[in-house]
């Protein structure tokens, strides 16, 4: 399941990260590592970006970047 | 007194700035790192018999070479060798914050860990065994609540002990938990690097090896320069081994290893009892699918209105003060060059600088309030989707909105946009947001030429034209951003990943400090340039002093039979002097350039004067029609313009378009320089805005206008 397509309230573990190395490093620094739990809190009123909860904090992430986060089904 | 250097590191939003302010008080210095637009903040304080210099490193999530902030942070640490790095960590968000800490450990620097925001941690239901954490790490750990100054004493105490060498805050070796295969490969690379025997500028070989394995661009470049091609082969070998032994690339393996280390560390140190916080409840409303946008619009409308309403009386006060000062000085000095220079040139110039201060002060007061409370990221979250097609993100909204009141604080507000490219694009769009100073121009010209009709029977035509002008500005901004994005400013598309920190009650003190810093920065950095340009403008309009006039005004005035006749003569004389001044000559010079737009040299002068301040255009028009200086009385100016054959609805709208799009007032330019780090971008903006102004006005006057009128 790709994060971009996850509905509000979805909870799951990160399976792997795709995308350019620069983006991956940014994801790592923000706590997106394989095995971590992630929860989709909501979509913005205009449907983008998403608000997710990870490692106990809240992050806004655009669907464009969320396409690189693959979650375990 | 001995001076020592320390550094503050930490994630953005971890409260680093608050602690920096608490340590250094007002004794801070803000500047730039050479060659980059990253802010360098330094401060001083006394500790015992030591003078401590604190470098506030930019807030970073990591120490990669991904952003200039991170590169600067590690460069300062390695090259300037602070005695100790105080790592400020958000205790309510430990796991992620410690990722940076791990990288500081990798660099091998002495670290004091500050667990800030302990109150937020408690609210979230987190319990931290500080003593155990300190034991496991082998370095001092100081719990703090920065914005309440809780724990500050203990921090000073620990710092003093560290600086006096009573404590050596180096972490224990076993903290960093890499898989043995990785450790072996890093050691192999390290040995290789050391064996080459080159100068590493103080960077630890092991760190270079680790970063190289991780694929860090800066480090790879550094090593290639000093070690040649050999290092690439070694790295290739190592990367392949990681892939085959551990099934993934080195950067993933290392990232996971760091978090594993963190998990181990926190295992019997952190206890969570998850609890829903006030933040969750507020967000449910503020980011609500249906309520979110209206709430956002309401907040923005209030912001805009407040800045406008609060600053206007102060601006009037400042205007009145300088007018009073000018009059008194004039009274003392009498007519002549000195009086003109002091009153019109210098006082006018200084007044011109200070008149923007109320808007800057109030805007930044409100922005700081919104930021410190935590609402700003939510605002950016809600509106981001609209800005995305332009290559901007939600953080650009508030600065651009502020520009509608006045470009200057709006451009200063772009500093909150960390990414340089995004900031630059926002600054490029800023001048096209029609500021309040341009309004008198529109009011005058619409009043003179737009008939009092109703569009489709409901909409007032005058209002519709006004709205259209604002929309043209926004459209021009969109075009500008798209053009510059496509042709220059190429680079990695910037991901929008924004933390939403918990809501907090803002402290008045920190809001006021922030507001004060901006005001001082403006006056110091922009003030001198604006003053200089004011004097130049004054000179252009005042000299040459004794042109040959067509009539002997003195004689005519003496023969005049009524005060009205004298006044009329004086106005005519003023007009002639204006026409023969350098500004007037300049107007005649550029006339061929603006003739295709339907303008003549007199409008040329008016436009030149608008460079000083946009609203001055109206006053200058008053002088041109020999109506004297007090032209707030629009009726006579309105009539004069209507009667002038040069003006018709098409050219009137043309003039509005030109005033809208042309170069922003002179005060904006040093502010743009301040935010972009040089005169290059102000120069580009001057050229681009003139180009836009001329082209759009030309197309209107020649093609579109005649179709409508």
Average pLDDT over residues B428-443: 92
Average pLDDT over residues B635-663: 88
The count of other CB atoms within 10 Å of the CB of residue B320 is 10
From chain A, pick out residues whose CB is under 8 angstroms from the CB of B259.
31, 33, 36
Give me the pLDDT at residue B332, please: 80
From chain B, pick out residues whose CB is under 8 angstroms from the CB of A49.
381, 384-385, 496, 498
Q: Summarize pLDDT for B495-539 with one digit per residue, the tens.
A: 889 999 999 888 888 888 888 888 888 888 788 888 888 888 888
Confidence of residue B94 (pLDDT cuts 50, 70, 90): very high
Confidence of residue B265 (pLDDT cuts 50, 70, 90): very high
Q: Summarize pLDDT for B119-177 with one digit per residue, the tens.
A: 999 988 999 999 999 999 999 999 999 888 899 999 999 999 999 999 999 999 888 88
What is the rounded CA–CA span in Å between residue B641 and residue B655?
Answer: 12
Confidence of residue B701 (pLDDT cuts 50, 70, 90): very high
Nearest chain A alpha carbon to B290: A45
Average pLDDT over residues B422-445: 92
In angstroms, the separation between the Cα of residue B234 and the nearest Cα of chain A is: 20
Instruction: Point out the residue among B62, B382, B496 whose CB comes nearest to the CB of A45.
Output: B382
For residue B544, say if its preceding peptide bond is cis, omega within 30 degrees of 0: yes
Q: Are A45 and B290 in contact (CB under 8 A)?
A: yes
Please, where are the H alpha helices in B456-525? 461-487, 508-525
Confidence of residue B635 (pLDDT cuts 50, 70, 90): low
Q: Are B79 and B30 in contact (CB under 8 A)?
A: no
Place of tokens 């039979």: B561
Q: Is residue B494 pLDDT above 80, yes or no?
A: no
Nearest chain B alpha carbon to A54: B96
Lowest mean pLDDT among A11-25, B525-539, B692-706: B525-539
Q: Summarize pLDDT for B475-489 with one digit per residue, the tens.
A: 999 999 999 988 776
Instruction: Point out the residue among A17, A26, A44 whose CB comes nearest to the CB of B385.
Output: A44
Q: Are B380 and B394 in contact (CB under 8 A)?
A: yes
From chain B, pick out residues whose CB is under 8 angstroms from the CB of A9.
none
In angstroms, the separation between the Cα of residue B627 and the nearest Cα of chain A is: 53
User: What are the sequence ranges of the domains in chain B?
Assistant: 2-173, 180-272
Instruction: Point out the residue among A26, A46, A47 whose CB comes nearest to the CB of B497.
Output: A26
Beta bridge partners of A37: A13
From chain A, pick out residues whose CB is under 8 angstroms from the CB of B499.
30, 57-60
Give me the pLDDT at residue B632, please: 46
Q: Which of B216, B235, B255 to mutate to test the interface with A (most CBs of A within 10 A)?
A: B255
Place of tokens 């050596």: B168
Q: Which of A4, A33, A52, A58 to mutate to test the interface with B (most CBs of B within 10 A)?
A: A58
Q: Which of B283, B500, B501 to mutate to test the interface with A (most CBs of A within 10 A)?
A: B500
Q: Would you call A60 and B381 a contact, using CB atoms and an 8 Å cutoff? A: yes
In angstroms, the separation between the Cα of residue A72 and the nearest Cα of chain B is: 17
Q: Residue B467: exposed, middle, or buried by beta-carbon count in 10 A (0-12, 13-18, 19+)?
A: exposed
User: What's the token pair of residue B175?
Assistant: 């903290």
Q: Is residue B84 pLDDT above 90, yes or no?
A: yes
Which among B37-46, B100-109, B345-354, B450-459 has the top mean pLDDT? Answer: B100-109
Q: Summarize pLDDT for B105-114 with one digit per residue, the tens.
A: 999 999 999 9
Q: Are B642 and B448 in contact (CB under 8 A)?
A: yes
Q: Which of B192, B184, B195, B193 is nearest to B242 (CA)?
A: B184
Q: Is residue B630 pLDDT above 50, yes or no?
A: no
Q: What share of chain A is helix, strand, coil (3-state, %, to 5)?
A: 20, 40, 40
Q: Would you call A31 and B498 a contact, using CB atoms and an 8 Å cutoff? A: no
Beta bridge partners of B630: none
Q: Are B107 and B78 in contact (CB under 8 A)?
A: yes
Average pLDDT over residues B555-578: 81
Q: Is residue B634 pLDDT above 60, yes or no?
A: no
User: What's the token pair of residue B35?
Assistant: 């060659």
Using only C-alpha atoms, what is the Rg of chain A?
Answer: 11
Sheet with A69-71: list strands edge to edge.
Answer: A69-71, A11-17, A37-43, A50-54, A57-61, B497-499
Q: Would you call A45 and B66 a contact, using CB atoms and an 8 Å cutoff? A: no
Average pLDDT over residues B171-184: 89
The count of other CB atoms within 10 Å of the CB of residue B441 is 24
Average pLDDT over residues B411-416: 90
In angstroms, the separation between the Cα of residue A10 and the nearest Cα of chain B is: 16
Give me the pLDDT at residue B569, please: 81
What is the rounded CA–CA span in Å between residue B188 and residue B183?
Answer: 9
- The residue with greater pLDDT, B534 or B469, is B469
User: What are the sequence ranges of the domains in chain A?
Assistant: 3-71
What angle is formed at CA B423 by the lines to CA B419 and CA B426, rounded to 5 degrees? 145
In angstroms, the separation between the Cα of residue B136 and the nearest Cα of chain A is: 21
From chain A, pick out residues whose CB is under 8 angstroms from the CB of B293.
45-46
Average pLDDT over residues A14-39: 92
The mean of the pLDDT values for chain B is: 88
Average pLDDT over residues B196-216: 91
What is the rounded CA–CA span in Å between residue B527 and residue B663?
Answer: 19
Q: Which CATH class for the A3-71 domain?
A: mainly beta
Average pLDDT over residues B47-59: 93
- So what's the architecture of B2-173 in CATH? 3-Layer(aba) Sandwich (3.40)
In angstroms, the separation between the Cα of residue B100 and the nearest Cα of chain A is: 8
B117 CB contacts (<8 Å, ≥6 apart)?
B14, B15, B90, B91, B92, B145, B146
What is the rounded CA–CA span in Å between residue B222 and residue B375?
Answer: 42
Average pLDDT over residues B352-368: 88
Confidence of residue B646 (pLDDT cuts 50, 70, 90): confident
Instruction: Point out the residue among B256, B289, B495 whose CB comes nearest to the CB of A26.
Output: B495
Q: Which ipTM was obtained for this model?
A: 0.96
Q: Would you call A47 and B287 a contact, using CB atoms and an 8 Å cutoff? A: no
B166 CB contacts (<8 Å, ≥6 apart)?
none
φ, ψ (nearest 5 deg) of residue B270: -110, 135
Average pLDDT over residues B88-107: 95
Q: Return the CATH fold of B180-272.
A: Helix Hairpins (1.10.287)
CA B428 to chain centre: 12
Q: With helix as H, strand as E and coil as C, how does B577-605 read?
A: HHHHCHHHHHHHHHHHHHHHHCCCHHHHH
Place of tokens 């902030």: B69
């Amino acid at each position: 399941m790709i994060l971009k397509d996850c509905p509000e309230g979805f909870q799951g573990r990160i399976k792997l990260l795709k995308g350019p190395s620069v983006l991956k490093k940014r994801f790592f620094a923000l706590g997106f590592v394989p095995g971590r739990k992630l929860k989709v809190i909501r979509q913005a009123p205009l449907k983008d970006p998403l608000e997710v909860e990870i490692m106990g904090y809240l992050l806004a992430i655009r669907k464009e970047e969320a396409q690189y986060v693959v979650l375990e089904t | 007194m001995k001076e020592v250097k320390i550094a503050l590191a930490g994630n953005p939003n971890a409260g680093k700035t608050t602690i920096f302010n608490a340590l250094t008080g007002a004794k801070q210095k803000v500047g730039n790192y050479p060659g980059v637009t990253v802010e360098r903040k330094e401060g001083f304080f006394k500790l015992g018999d030591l003078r401590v210099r604190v470098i506030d490193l930019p807030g970073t999530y990591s120490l990669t070479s991904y952003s200039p902030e991170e590169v600067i942070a590690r460069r300062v640490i390695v090259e300037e060798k602070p005695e100790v790095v105080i790592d400020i960590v958000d205790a309510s968000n430990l796991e992620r914050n410690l990722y940076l800490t791990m990288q500081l450990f990798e660099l091998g620097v002495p670290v004091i860990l500050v667990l800030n925001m302990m109150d937020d941690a408690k609210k979230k239901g987190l319990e931290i065994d500080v003593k155990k954490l300190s034991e496991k790490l082998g370095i001092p750990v100081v719990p703090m609540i920065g914005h309440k100054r809780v724990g500050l004493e203990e921090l000073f105490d620990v710092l003093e002990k560290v600086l006096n060498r009573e404590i050596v805050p180096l972490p224990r070796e076993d903290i960093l938990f890499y898989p043995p295969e990785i450790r072996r490969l890093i050691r192999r690379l390290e040995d290789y690097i050391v064996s080459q025997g080159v100068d590493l500028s103080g960077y630890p070989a092991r760190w270079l090896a680790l970063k190289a394995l991780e694929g860090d661009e800066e480090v790879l470049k550094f090593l290639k320069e000093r070690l040649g091609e050999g290092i690439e082969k070694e790295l290739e070998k190592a990367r392949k081994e990681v892939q085959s032994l551990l099934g993934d690339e080195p950067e993933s393996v290392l990232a996971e290893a760091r978090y594993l280390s963190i998990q181990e560390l926190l295992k019997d140190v952190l206890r969570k009892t998850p609890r829903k916080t006030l933040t969750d409840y507020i967000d449910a409303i503020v980011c609500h699918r249906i309520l979110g946008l209206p709430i956002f619009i309401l907040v923005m409308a209030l912001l805009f209105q407040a800045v406008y309403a609060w600053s206007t009386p102060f601006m009037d006060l400042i205007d009145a003060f300088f007018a009073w000062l000018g009059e008194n000085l004039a009274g003392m000095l009498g007519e002549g060059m000195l009086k003109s220079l002091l009153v019109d040139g210098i006082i006018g110039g200084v007044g011109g600088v200070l008149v923007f201060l109320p808007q800057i002060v109030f805007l930044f007061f409100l922005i700081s309030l919104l930021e410190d409370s935590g609402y700003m990221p939510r605002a950016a979250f809600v509106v981001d989707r609209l800005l995305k097609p332009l290559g901007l993100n939600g953080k650009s909204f508030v600065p651009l909105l502020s520009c509608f009141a006045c470009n200057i604080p709006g451009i200063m507000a772009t500093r909150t946009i960390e990414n340089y490219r995004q900031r630059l694009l926002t600054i490029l769009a800023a001048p096209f947001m029609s500021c309040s100073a341009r309004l008198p121009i529109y009011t005058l010209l619409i009043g003179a030429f737009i008939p009092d009709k109703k569009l489709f029977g409901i909409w007032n035509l005058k209002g519709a034209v006004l709205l259209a002008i604002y929309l043209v500005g926004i459209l021009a901004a969109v075009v500008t951003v798209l053009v510059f994005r496509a042709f220059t400013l190429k680079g990695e598309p910037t991901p929008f990943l924004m933390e939403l920190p918990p809501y907090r009650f803002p402290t008045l003190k920190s809001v006021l400090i922030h507001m004060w810093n901006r005001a001082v920065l403006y006056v110091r950095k922009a003030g001198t340039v604006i003053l200089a340009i004011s004097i130049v403008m004054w000179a252009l309009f005042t000299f040459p002093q004794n042109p040959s006039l067509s009539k002997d005004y003195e004689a005519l005035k003496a023969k005049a039979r009524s005060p009205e006749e004298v006044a009329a003569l004086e106005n005519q004389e003023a007009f002639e002097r204006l026409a023969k001044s350098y500004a007037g000559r300049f107007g005649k010079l550029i006339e061929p350039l603006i003739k295709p737009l339907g303008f003549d040299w007199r409008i040329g002068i008016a436009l030149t004067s608008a460079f000083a301040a946009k609203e001055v255009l109206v006053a200058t028009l008053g002088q041109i029609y020999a109506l004297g200086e007090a032209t707030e009385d629009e009726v006579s100016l309105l009539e004069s313009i209507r009667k002038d054959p040069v003006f018709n609805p098409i050219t009137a709208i043309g003039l509005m378009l030109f005033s809208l799009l042309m170069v922003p007032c002179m005060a904006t330019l040093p502010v743009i320089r301040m935010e972009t780090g040089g005169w290059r971008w102000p120069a580009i903006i001057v050229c681009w805005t003139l180009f836009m102004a001329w082209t759009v006005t030309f197309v209107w006057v020649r093609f579109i206008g005649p179709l409508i009128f």
